[in-house]
Amino acid sequence: MKGILEFLAKNNRWAIVLVVLLLIISSGIYNFQRNKIDRLDDKYKSEVKLKNALTDSIHTYQDKEGKWVAEKLTIQGRIDNLLEDSTRLTNSQRSLLNQVKNANEKNTVITAALVRAEFIIDSLMHNGGVVVDTTNKTVEFTEFNNPDINYDFKAFGVLPYPINSKPSLLIKNLTLPNEQFIKFQWDDDKRTDYPISFSVTNSNKYVKVYDVNSYAIPALQKSDIDPTGWEKFGAWMNKNQKYLKWFGGGALAGGAAGYLIFK
């Protein structure tokens, strides 16, 4: 070792060349290992996110306006790979992915969702209008002022009730107006370590969403849609990487060559 140091001290030119070569080799090894670690880390995170999405259950809550919101994590992954691993899929998830696959034959699907909802009326007490017709033995119940439900029911065979007759009911009208707001959102703060979730908001309290499954293309990232300042800088660096390498390599080579020539 002492002999090498003495040799380098006497031959400054070779020392510079050796140092440059060592730096280049070290940088190459570091970048290779760093990229390998990043790829494994991304693969692990993607698998964790996929597992979380496939096993997530629906979350229902009221927003600040009192409307009911149903929310669930969004599935991201290649459609063919997901359908091949069908053992992890529910019937609804499989149905969603098959529909996305069919739709992809015409257009590239960016996001999609399959919502299963139903109207549930439990113990509804009529508080609207009542029309009694004693001649025809009918009673009509109407409700048109309730923002959640409108109906017009008419019962026959009443007032008075004949012993040998069977009353009947005619539903003349039943309407449940509902405004549904659907969105995909980035929930970094609300949902730990998972960027995309899907939510459905219903204005009608009688509309109950009991299952939601959603899909987004794997390449959809928050940094592509709403990048931070550092992410914008990183994107610029990646875009101009070859020019930066040429400039840095040229400057280094030029400086070393000038040193060797003019030394």
Q: How remote is the C-alpha of 193 from its chain's centroid?
A: 12
Query: What's the pTM value of the predicted model, to 2 decimals?
Result: 0.59
Q: How remote is the C-alpha of 145 from its chain's centroid?
A: 38
Mean pLDDT of the chain: 75
Partners of 61 in the β-ladder: 69
Residue 4: in which H helix or E strand, if any?
Answer: helix 2-10
Determine if residue 61 is left, alpha or beta; phi over 0 gives left, psi from -120 to 50 gives alpha, anything else beta: beta
Q: Does residue 56 contact residue 71 with C-beta atoms inside 8 Å?
A: no
pLDDT at 258: 35
Phi and psi torsions of 53, nearest 5°:
-70, -40
Residue range 241-260: mean pLDDT, rounded: 45
State how far the Cα of 4 lies from the Cα of 6, in Å rounded to an integer: 5
Residue 40 has pLDDT above 90, yes or no: no
DSSP string, 236-248: HHHHTHHHHHHHH
By mean pLDDT, which of 61-70, 129-138, 179-188, 220-229 is the weakest? 220-229
Q: Is 191 helix (H, G, I), strand (E, B) or coil?
A: coil
Q: Is 175 helix (H, G, I), strand (E, B) or coil?
A: strand
State how far the Cα of 112 lies from the Cα of 91, in Å rounded to an integer: 16
- DSSP state letter for 125: P
Residue range 129-146: mean pLDDT, rounded: 89
Maximum alpha-carbon separation in the chain: 124
Q: Does residue 132 contact residue 240 with C-beta atoms inside 8 Å?
A: no
Q: Does residue 83 contact residue 222 with C-beta atoms inside 8 Å?
A: no
Q: Give residue 241's pLDDT band: very low, low, confident or very high (50, 70, 90).
A: low
Q: Does residue 199 contact residue 185 with C-beta atoms inside 8 Å?
A: yes
Residue 27 has pLDDT above 80, yes or no: no
Phi and psi torsions of 67, nearest 5°:
-85, 150
Residue 158 has pLDDT above 90, yes or no: no
pLDDT at 113: 93
Q: Give residue 115's pLDDT band: very low, low, confident or very high (50, 70, 90).
A: very high
